[in-house]
């Protein structure tokens, strides 16, 4: 099968290039990058071993090439218009935020943009929750990285929670190639920076699926990639650790990429993988449950999960290209 990427030269775009280049079921026919068209990928990313060059096909040219699937790895506000113009026979995985909200008015308010989409028919691309719907979808909205880590950390026991605090740390690649961190990594060297203490956009994405009242604060630290979510959940009742672990193990029993850890997961346990590791499960005298989840923000939090979704949409083994 033939696939393409629009926005192939950013951090998430390059992860897509890397993963799809080793995928046994697809050929990467489109690697669009307007600013780097014609250049070899390895000119930007010397660790890339092939001779693939960036392209700059128009939407009409992409439609004539008839790819089976296209990944859109662009900033919010740019994906929806492209998705509308792509032929209906092309499946779309959007790594931006344009299709993440079931209510487009909410999306427009949070992202301060006007969407060309009035009714969102995309499926939210978290396979642990929506695997069967993803298989039948034409457009999948790939979740945000923080949203992925937080939802997976809390979903199995959210009905028992009165309130949840998500305290999250991410590698600086999550801010993108044009961020201050990318231009001057010394900003986060030996440092930890909290930002958007109560108003990060992923909070509202999380609230679509975690119905308990919640607080979310993100931080960036000195590693390039990796993410940890520490979820503090004030429970409505006392629960034994064994009961909590059973709830998580049962919920994720068919989730190939979400694993229950024996102890407390570390960021490096999931770096450069498509896995989510969930552990901790400790409670205190105040019925506070603490659960820790780790993912790689660029892979399970972005490009790896996007390929996982593509695999489901096109009928491949869910793990193809990801192990």
Question: What stretch(es) of the chain map to CATH 3.30.360.10?
Answer: 146-297
Decide if pLDDT at 215 tops 90.
yes
Q: Look at domain 146-297 and name its CATH class.
A: alpha beta
Per-residue confidence at 79, pLDDT binned at 50, 70, 90? very high
- Proportion of the chain in helix, strand, coil states, percent, rounded to 5: 35, 25, 40
Decide if pLDDT at 255 tops 90.
yes
Per-residue confidence at 20, pLDDT binned at 50, 70, 90? very high
Question: What stretch(es) of the chain map to CATH 3.40.50.720?
Answer: 2-143+301-314
Higher pLDDT, 176 or 44: 44
Decide if pLDDT at 178 tops 90.
no
Give the residue numbers marked as catalytic.
145
CB 214 within 8 A of CB 202: no
What architecture is the 2-143+301-314 domain classified under in CATH? 3-Layer(aba) Sandwich (3.40)
Per-residue confidence at 50, pLDDT binned at 50, 70, 90? confident
Would you state the pLDDT for residue 183?
87
Q: Count the Cβ atoms, other than its own, within 10 Å of residue 274.
A: 23
Sheet holding 161-171, edge to edge: 192-194, 214-221, 161-171, 227-235, 288-295, 276-283, 258-260
CA distances from 273 to 55, 78, 142, 149 (A): 27, 28, 17, 14
- DSSP assignment of 196-244: STTT-HHHHHHTTT--S-EEEEEEEESSSS-EEEEEEEEESS---HHHH
Q: Count the Cβ atoms, other than its own, within 10 Å of residue 183.
A: 9
């Amino acid at each position: 099968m033939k696939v393409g990427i629009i926005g192939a030269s950013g951090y998430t775009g390059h992860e897509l290039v890397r993963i799809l280049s080793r995928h046994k079921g697809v050929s990467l026919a489109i690697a669009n990058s307007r600013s780097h068209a014609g250049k070899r990928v390895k000119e930007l990313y010397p660790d890339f071993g092939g001779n693939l060059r960036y392209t700059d096909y128009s939407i009409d040219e992409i439609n004539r090439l008839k790819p089976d699937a296209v990944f859109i790895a662009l900033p919010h506000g740019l994906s929806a218009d492209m998705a509308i113009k792509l032929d209906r026979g092309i499946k779309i995985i959007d790594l931006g935020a344009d299709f993440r909200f079931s209510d487009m008015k909410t999306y427009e308010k949070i992202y301060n943009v006007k969407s060309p989409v009035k009714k969102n028919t995309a499926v939210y691309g978290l396979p642990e929750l929506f695997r069967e719907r993803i298989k039948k979808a034409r457009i999948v909205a790939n979740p945000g990285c923080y949203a992925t880590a937080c939802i997976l950390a809390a979903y199995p026991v959210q009905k028992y929670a009165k309130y949840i605090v998500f305290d999250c740390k991410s590698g600086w690649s999550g801010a993108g190639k044009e961020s201050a961190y990318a231009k001057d990594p010394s900003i986060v060297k030996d440092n930890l920076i909290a930002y958007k203490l109560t108003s990060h956009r992923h909070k509202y994405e999380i609230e679509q699926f975690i119905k308990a009242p919640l607080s979310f604060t993100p931080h960036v630290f000195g590693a390039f990639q990796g993410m940890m979510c520490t979820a503090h959940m004030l429970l409505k009742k006392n629960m034994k650790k064994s009961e909590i672990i059973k709830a998580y193990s049962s919920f994720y029993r068919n989730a190939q990429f979400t694993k229950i850890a024996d102890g407390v997961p570390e960021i490096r346990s999931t770096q450069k993988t498509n896995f989510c590791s969930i552990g901790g499960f400790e409670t205190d005298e105040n019925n506070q449950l603490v659960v820790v989840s780790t993912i790689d923000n660029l892979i399970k939090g972005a490009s790896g999960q996007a390929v996982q979704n593509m695999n489901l949409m096109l009928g491949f083994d869910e793990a193809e290209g990801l192990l």
